[in-house]
Amino acid sequence: MNTFVDELVPVDLARCDDDVLLESWRELERTRNRLAAMEHRFVAEAERRGLPFTYGARNIAAFVRGLLRVHPHEAVARVRAASAAAPMTTLTGETVPAPFPVVAAAQAAGSISPRHAAVVVQTVDALPEAVQAEHGARVEAELVDYATQFDPFELGRIAARIRAVLDQDGALCDVAYRERHRDLTIRQRPDGSASISGEATAELAERLLTVLDALAAPRPAEGGVRDPRTAGQRRHDGLLDSLDLVQRAELLPTVAGISTTVLLTTTTDNWSSGDGVATTGHGAIVPTQEAIRIAGGDTRAMTIQLDEHGAVTGHTDARRLFTETQRLAMIARDGGCTFPGCEVPPAWCQAHHVIDHANGGRTTIANGALVCGRHHREHTRQGWRSVIRDGRPAWIPPPWLDPTRTPRSNSRPG
């Protein structure tokens, strides 16, 4: 093995053709895998000789950590791997085969990695004793064969399916465990943002992933620029869009006799100027500009305006949503998101007030436009403004993009 490495180190990879480069890389990986099998023998021999006791280590993992200066978790993992894939020699000189001989042979050949081996060992070990006695050797052999074709992540998914088939009672226990420990915690900060953590059942996870498949996909490139959002930001926005769709459907139950409503409270002066702060129905304090942005969306939102004495001086109409008939008419007219270049279909769009409802805009087809959640949230921040031109929605670009600020329409075929 050292010979291959010694030969490879001085090689100028830039001069290698593709076939030589890739085969050398694969050979390097096989060498790396074989080194793990060799280390299993070192661990087993050190333990047979009682070296941890001789050198004052608490156990073999502590000995490996001190000798090789590796992380404690890494030391434990190496010892666990050795116990599964290394033959043992007893004090009487008798050799005991490796508990997982197929894994040991594959690692010695360099055909599977330590991570592959760990997946196989953990899967077999997790089977009930009776199932393991009857099917353990077959499962080990099948998974090692799969390990030569798939990476450890995919192998883990295959292993999970095999385990579920062989240990259906265990799978049901897992379901019951997840059901008992389901949890969702929202820790809201004073500024209204929050951290979210929890444990989801398989049903919740599957439903959420299905929704995000539709709502969190990257948007089509606009002007040759790819969607700048990270995967995490897309999932955040997709969840926000899904909540907006649920709230607009008006199928949620009432809370204390009041239909589900986003409540934003501020003073008349703040609302007019956009200065100061507003308070949400859950006590968070947000900038008034942000409150105006939230209220301007196609959510079921109501804004209460108070004077300096706390008296109500005005409020918006919570029943300002576009009707089903109006939305159908806009779907027929717009065909989807009206923002230039956006291909989001009507089912994922919100009904947008061209003249903001908070500024007196009427809830009419002539003042409405279909807009996807992302462009609904971001268009003002990006400097775009919506207008109606020749009876159809159009968008005025920011000066940095078009100094003439000529309105643009979505070129979707009509």
Q: What is the pLDDT of residues 215-228, one digit of tens each?
A: 888 877 666 678 88
Of the spans 16-30, 113-127, 192-206, 281-295, which averages the highest pLDDT? 113-127
**Percent of the chain residues topping a pLDDT of 70:** 81
Better pLDDT: 313 or 344:
344
Tokens of 44: 């087993």
pLDDT above 60 for 260: no
CATH class of 324-396: mainly alpha
pLDDT above 60 for 319: no
- The residues, ordered by sequence, that sit 6+ positions from 316 with a Cβ below 8 Å of its Cβ are 295, 301, 302, 303, 357, 358
Q: Are 126 and 171 in contact (CB under 8 A)?
A: no
pLDDT above 90 for 142: yes
Range list of H helices, 148-297: 152-166, 168-180, 202-215, 231-248, 268-273, 288-296
190 C-beta neighbours (distance < 10 Å), count: 9
Q: Are 125 and 167 in contact (CB under 8 A)?
A: no
Tokens of 269: 């002066």
Q: Are 103 and 120 in contact (CB under 8 A)?
A: yes
Instruction: Please tell me the predicted confidence (pLDDT) of residue 257.
Output: 47
Calculate mean pLDDT across residues 63-83.
90
Calculate mean pLDDT across residues 392-411.
89
The pLDDT mean for the chain works out to 81
- Angle, alpha carbons 91-96-97 (nearest 5°): 155
84 C-beta neighbours (distance < 10 Å), count: 20
Instruction: Please tell me the predicted confidence (pLDDT) of residue 23.
Output: 86
pLDDT above 70 for 235: yes
Question: Which 8-state DSSP code applies to residue 219?
Answer: P
For the chain, the domains span: 2-176, 201-217+229-254, 261-318, 324-396
Q: Are 59 and 50 in contact (CB under 8 A)?
A: no
Pairing of strands 262-267, 301-306: parallel
Give the residue among 41, 48, 42, 136 at the shortest CA–CA distance from 87. Answer: 41
pLDDT tens readout for residues 282-308: 677 878 877 777 766 544 555 666 666
Instruction: Please tell me the predicted confidence (pLDDT) of residue 61.
Output: 92
pLDDT above 90 for 103: yes
Measured CA to CA, the distance from residue 274 to residue 277 in angstroms comes to 8
Give the residue among 324, 186, 318, 312 at the shortest CA–CA distance from 260. Answer: 318
Whole-structure pTM value: 0.44
Calculate mean pLDDT across residues 50-67.
91
Q: Are 291 and 266 in contact (CB under 8 A)?
A: yes
pLDDT above 80 for 340: yes
Give the SS3 label for residue 306: strand
Instruction: Please tell me the predicted confidence (pLDDT) of residue 71.
Output: 92
Measured CA to CA, the distance from residue 60 to residue 66 in angstroms comes to 10
Better pLDDT: 296 or 328:
328
Instruction: Please tell me the predicted confidence (pLDDT) of residue 299.
Output: 47
Evaluated on CA atoms 11, 13, 14, 17, the torsion sign reads positive
First to last CA, the chain: 66
pLDDT tens readout for residues 345-388: 887 888 888 888 767 788 888 888 999 888 888 888 888 999 99
- Angle, alpha carbons 315-318-319 (nearest 5°): 130
Instruction: Please tell me the predicted confidence (pLDDT) of residue 96.
Output: 77
Task: Give kind and range of the element (H or E) at residue 263.
Answer: strand 262-267
Instruction: Please tell me the predicted confidence (pLDDT) of residue 182.
Output: 86
